[in-house]
Structure 1
Amino acid sequence: MAKKPIGPVRRDYAPWDDPASVPFIEFRNVTKRFGDFTAVNNLSLKIYEREFFALLGGSGCGKTTMMRMLAGFETPTEGEILLDGQSLSGVPPYRRPVNMMFQSYALFPHMNVEANIAFGLKQDDMPKAEIADRVAEMLRLTKLESFAKRKPHQLSGGQRQRVALARSLAKRPKVLLLDEPLGALDRKLREETQFELMNLQEDLKMTFLIVTHDQEEAMTVADRIAVMDAGEIVQVATPGEIYEAPNSKFVADFIGDVNLIEAKVEETSETGTRLQAVHGNYVIDSAQSVSASKGETVWYAIRPEKVRMELGEPSGGDLNSAGAIVWDIAYLGDMSIFHSRIGEASLRSTVANVTRTVERPISWDDKVVLSWDRDAGVILTE
């Protein structure tokens, strides 16, 4: 029986859950050193055909080095990279069935859109008639037909991004590598382009590998995400699993907003775990069962949108309920973020602004009760 996914999924596609599935791209114990610095440390990873996969992490985590090794611009110090079952060892970049779209786009300024898209095809000595057909197809897919005769300086940032994408796709590589492709776009255009990329990837049935530091971008476009830190993969999972079931404090804190509550284990059972918060006199009753000893320090991670807030004071003895005082409020239009103090600690909660009411029912310095459901958070032991 297939595992039920956590959170909404974009499509019914999960070869990583099938033991019989063969990976399309495989990193086997790959290490990359630059002198004394280890950029990638003994890393293994499997990516499947037609997957939109994201490498996500902060600057210097090793994600771009991984992509450059796959493209052939860097050589692994140790380990092996396979593509479609074949080792890439010794294969030069121009003979690998991959294409890379750079953050800078790297368009030829003296060529128009058509010529930029056709450049790689001409280098491969493709017949002129086939080049014309392929360029027309790329213009249609990227909605650039009316801009075919323009040069890069006559285009907007989003249009230049699409020209670079069309040029990368024109040679029909087995894998398209996207290195921070949307970083230069403004927020609204970036969001629109993310959906365009997803639809294009699904239409072409190609394998896309994107490198990004933008968690929202990775969560939007990818079927799966590998969260990286210091040259290692910390967690590989679907966006829903990464967000709702992080495997460590690092992942929980890196992906989205989260409250990390330090707590001591009071008791554990097959049906759940009871914790005593270190800061604040309240008890957390979790539906999650963990392997931890009584008195051991753990962290309870709960997202702000899962914390309810109402005016008043706690009645006493309630589980998953804490008295607090509102000390800061951020109004973001669609929602408001409340920071409430519980002794020396604080807890964030978000409230959707579903009405146009300007006056807030809860304001600064109000006494409130924060509460959450038994299955709202996750206990982290590392």
Structure 2
Amino acid sequence: MASLGSIRRDFAPWTNPEAKPLIRFENVTKHFGSHTAVDNLSLSIYEREFFVLLGPSGCGKTTLLRMLGGFEQPTSGRVLLDGQDLSGVPPYRRPVNMMFQSYALFPHMTVEKNIAFGLKQEGMPKDKIAERVASMLKLVKLEKYAARKPHQLSGGQRQRVALARALAKRPRVLLLDEPLGALDKKLREETQFELMDLQQELGLTFVIVTHDQDEAMTMADRIAVMDAGKVLQVATPAEIYEAPNSRFVAEFIGSINIFDGEIVEKKGGTARFRDKSGSEFLVSLGANPQVNGSGSLAVRPEKMTITRQRPADAVNAIEGEVWDIAYLGDLTLYNLKLDDGRIIKISMMNSRRTVEDVLTWYDRAWVSFAPDAGVILTR
């Protein structure tokens, strides 16, 4: 069976029916007055997993994280850690530490003292504190900055101090709420890989909240896509992207073209799909041979090809007018306006420095795609 994209590492305890999750949310609901932030949600997270909660603002992902950290209590349902019900267990008694979006560093303390703060609160001996702080500074590559105060550091350095402080107590689970939100684009990209390497090196379980799709796709072993207090899909980044289980997930992750219509014929592992404009497409059913009736055909822009003439071997092709073009260096993005007014997005890799017969604005062109390029969604 063909694989849906590459995997980040050879680690998939969720595929083993005998594996026990480290963290378990069981039918958890959280109300704030009349607002339901988390709605009867169940979810399992495994030891050493880099797990990402992804969704739009207000979907409940931070509330879920705070309930795991002990900063909020469920209205109903249970949060379990290694089989233990965490109800009534205060944050400081949980083997969990949380790194906040603001970093929450003490401005009057040095880097060294910020990292040592939680250890002093626990009453750890001074020599052990010094040893642990030194190892944390080395881990986050801040040995030279131990005597500096937060205002003397860059955003990326402050982020590392907050991370070192959170890791100093050696929690079993590290919770991170939008940890890279304050960093610029280049530093965010660098820090994503640093966090992944750090998590692998320490062998901890990371649960991270973000609304940034690229961040989630880069770092996660698995992603839970959330909306309106519910988990819509839990899967690896490749599965979320290539095989979304709903229109919301398809549209939330990356760019997508949606054709609404219905299946008019099925034969073997393929179906003939007719969209509302009357265009027909041959579609591979893949892992969903039982799909029937009305639905939506979802096709990613990079799975499509744009050409001036209809390709002779094209199974699925539709004609329109080049409406917009964006040259991004490695890619060129095209918006093709169909005769019924719909816009189709196509992404083409610029594999050569020069191209003959370049398409430009208002040219007539054809977009084509293979039968296995798209997925049919029924919800």
Q: State the AA in 1 paired with 2:23.
A: I
For residues 154-173 of structure 1, the aligned pairs below 5 Å read: 154-173=152-171
Q: Aligned partners of 1:360, 1:221: CA distance in 2, in Å?
A: 40
Q: 1 CA distance for matches of 2:131 and 2:157?
A: 21
Deviation string 1:105-135 (CA, Å, 9 cap, x unpaired) is 0001111111100000011110111111111
Q: What whole-Å deviation, never above 9, does each CA across 1:280-329 have from its counterpart, x for those lacking one?
A: 63433334454355xx32111110000011112477x9531112211111
> Whole-Å Cα distance in 1 between the matches of residues 131 and 356 of structure 2?
60
> Contact 2:314–2:370 at 8 Å: present in 1 too?
no
Name the count of aligned residue pairs.
377
Q: CA deviation at 1:210?
A: 0.1
Counterpart CA distance in 1 for 2:51 and 2:319 is 42
Distance 1:266 1:325 in 2: 28
CA distance in 1, matches of 2:252, 2:156: 28
1:335 aligns with 2:331: yes
2:233 aligns to what? 235
User: Of 56, 60, 68, which residue of structure 2 is paired with 1:58?
Assistant: 56
Name the SS of the counterpart of 1:177 in structure 2: strand
Query: 2:156, 2:69 → 1: CA distance?
Result: 25
1:352 corresponds to 2:349: yes
1:284/1:347 Cα in 2 relative to 1: closer, same or farther (>3 Å)?
Answer: farther
Aligned partners of 2:173, 2:248: CA distance in 1, in Å? 30
CA distance in 2, matches of 1:116, 1:360: 61
SS of 1:108 mapped into structure 2: coil
- 2:95 is aligned with 1:97: yes
Q: 2: distance between equivalents of 1:209 and 1:282?
A: 43
Deviation at 1:26, TM superposition (A): 0.2
In structure 2, give the amino acid aligned to 1:324. G
Give the secondary-structure state (helix, strand or coil) at the position aligned to 1:375: helix
Q: Which of residues 368, 371, 376 is equivalent to 1:374?
A: 371
> Per-residue CA shift, 1:51-105, capped at 9, x if unaligned?
0000000011000000000111111000000001111011011111100000100
Q: Give the match for residue 310 of structure 1.
A: 307
Separation in 2, partners of 1:13, 1:6: 16
Check conservation: 1:277, 1:284, Cα contact below 8 A: no
Identity level (%): 61
1:128-152 per-position Cα deviation (integer Å, ceiling 9, x unaligned): 1111111111111101011111110
User: Counterpart of 1:196?
Assistant: 194
Give the distance between the partners of 1:309 and 1:227, measured in 2 at CA: 31
Which runs of 5 or more structure 2 residues have no equivalent in the other structure? none
8 Å contact kept, 1:314–1:323: no
Preserved CA contact (<8 Å) 1:279 1:342: no
Q: Secondary structure at the match of 1:125?
A: coil
The equivalent of 2:318 in structure 1 is 322
- CA shift for structure 1 position 279: 2.6
1:142-195 deviation digits (Å, cap 9, x = unpaired) = 010111111101100000000000000000001000000000000000000000
Most deviating of 94-103 and 256-265:
256-265
Unpaired segments of 5 or more residues in structure 1?
Answer: none
Per the alignment, residue 124 of structure 1 pairs with 122
**Structure 1 contact 242–251 (Cα < 8 Å) conserved:** yes
1 CA distance for matches of 2:267 and 2:21? Answer: 38
Normalising by structure 2, what TM-score?
0.96
- SS class of match (1:329): strand
Task: Please say if residues 270 and 282 of structure 2, whose CA atoms lie closer than 8 Å, have aligned partners that are also in contact.
Answer: no
Aligned to 1:222: 220
Which residue of the other structure, out of 37, 40, 50, is the alignment partner of 1:39?
A: 37
> Counterparts of 2:6 and 2:40 in 1: how far apart (Å)?
32
2:360 alignment partner in structure 1: 363
Partner amino acid for 2:321?
Answer: I
The answer to whether the Cα contact below 8 Å between 2:53 and 2:208 also exists between their aligned partners in 1 is yes
Partner of 1:184: 182
The whole-number CA distance in structure 1 between the counterparts of 2:120 and 2:355 is 61
Give the secondary structure class of the aligned counterpart of 1:340: strand
Provide the rounded CA distance (Å) in 1 between the counterparts of 2:15 and 2:203: 19
Q: Give the letter aligned to residue 278 of structure 1.
A: K
**1:256 Cα shift?**
0.3
Partner of 1:299: 296
* CA deviation map 1:332-373 (0-9, x unaligned): 222111010222222111111223348871111112121111
Query: Letter of the aligned partner of 1:271 in structure 2?
Result: G
